[in-house]
Amino acid sequence: MDGMMLEILREQKNKGKKKDNCFLFSKDYRKVVAEIDGKYFLNIYMIKVLNYLKTHKEQMIFAKEIELKNRIG
């Protein structure tokens, strides 16, 4: 599911639906929810997508910090 969510969000970004650090409209998030529900029959909501993005962003920041520390010393 995570891979599919990232792929759908990437498609939305490539269509110009993402500016700066957020998507422009909640309908972009709803599209992610609808596609995941259609494929996996999960009962998820837009807040789940938002929480996933927040968690994913925090993990990426942490990974970059570790990488930087490993390069320095």
How many domains does the chain fold into? Answer: 1
The answer to whether the pTM exceeds 0.75 is no
Cα 4–Cα 62–Cα 48 angle in degrees, nearest 5: 35
Per the CB < 8 A criterion, the answer to whether 5 and 36 are in contact is yes
pLDDT-derived band of residue 4, with 50, 70 and 90 as boundaries? Answer: confident
Range of the structural domain that residue 40 is part of = 2-72
pLDDT-derived band of residue 57, with 50, 70 and 90 as boundaries? Answer: confident
